[in-house]
Amino acid sequence: MTDSQTTTAGTDWEAWQKSWDRQQEWYMPDREERFRVMLDMVEALVGTAPRVLDLACGTGSITARLLDRFPEATSTGVDLDPALLAIAEGTFAGDERVTFVTADLKDPGWAAQLPHDSYDAVLTATALHWLHREPLADLYGHLAGLVRDGGVFMNADHMIDETTPRINAAERAQRHARMERAKERGALDWAQWWQLAAKDPVLAGPTARRFEIYGEHADGDTPSPAWHARVLREAGFTEARPVWCSPSDTLLLALK
């Protein structure tokens, strides 16, 4: 039994999921909108019963919305974070449509642990900005081999256009002012959420191991949507472009 599989029957996994959602929404109030568009494009391009790879799945946020909208879909969630995986595995325990894999996306052989050789869709959100450009480009190359012909990859994440510094600064100032007002009303930030997890009898151990793996939160790169589209095409996808954006984030779709 892995660390992330060590759970307690009485743990309220739904409450942890909701808590995670609220914490993420503090940073991204339009989070549900990007998920909706992501699933719209899944339906448009690969149908309503897709085999999905939920990449850097965390607590399974994408998987939960995928299965709620498309009950005939299946999902493989892959992540390295033992605490978030504990929540994901507790949430989806007994659901045969869902499989979780513990793997490091920076390990060149990570895909060998997956239960399938190919997927209709690979989906990820607010996760790959932890990687710098070189390992991210390498990952895109691996994903091109996992997505079937006609399948899709979608990444919703922070993507910054460095050619518009004044627009970027104004957007960031407004966003952080809004976040501070929400925090004054009791919203939890990233650090506070992890402090709660560290005090939970079930999540304390996985949380400690999580910080041994990652350390404190540290971003990698946030290149522009144009960079992502170019690198994905170079990796083997035939088309790539944004299908949704906010002032700070983009949902980039690549078609194999």
Residue pair 134/197 in contact (Cβ under 8 Å)? The answer is no
Average pLDDT over residues 241-250: 96
Q: Is 137 left (phi over 0), alpha (psi -120 to 50) or beta?
A: alpha
Q: How sure is the predictor about 1, in pLDDT bands with cuts at 50, 70 and 90?
A: very low
For the whole prediction, is pTM greater than 0.85? yes
pLDDT digits (tens, 9 = 90+) for 134-180: 999 999 999 999 999 999 999 999 999 999 999 999 999 999 999 99
pLDDT digits (tens, 9 = 90+) for 28-67: 999 999 999 999 999 999 999 999 999 999 999 999 999 9
Report the pLDDT value the prediction gives residue 230, as an integer from 0 to 100: 98
Report the pLDDT value the prediction gives residue 221, as an integer from 0 to 100: 85
Mean pLDDT computed over every residue of the chain: 93
Q: How sure is the predictor about 218, in pLDDT bands with cuts at 50, 70 and 90?
A: low
d(C-alpha 187, C-alpha 104), whole Å:
31
Helix axes 190-199 and 13-27, enclosed angle (nearest 10): 160
Report the pLDDT value the prediction gives residue 123, as an integer from 0 to 100: 98
Report the pLDDT value the prediction gives residue 80, as an integer from 0 to 100: 96
Report the pLDDT value the prediction gives residue 219, as an integer from 0 to 100: 67
CB neighbour list of residue 63: distance below 8 Å, 6 or more residues apart = 52, 54, 57, 75, 77, 88, 92, 98
CB neighbour list of residue 93: distance below 8 Å, 6 or more residues apart = 7
Q: Is the pLDDT of residue 3 over 80?
A: no
Q: Is the pLDDT of residue 2 over 50?
A: no
d(C-alpha 191, C-alpha 173), whole Å:
20
pLDDT digits (tens, 9 = 90+) for 74-111: 999 999 999 999 999 999 999 999 999 999 999 999 99
Average pLDDT over residues 241-254: 96
Report the pLDDT value the prediction gives residue 215, as an integer from 0 to 100: 83
- Greatest alpha-carbon pair distance for the chain in Å reads 51
| 3-state secondary structure at position 128 | helix
Q: Which residue has the higher pLDDT, 1 or 84?
A: 84
Q: How sure is the predictor about 8, in pLDDT bands with cuts at 50, 70 and 90?
A: low
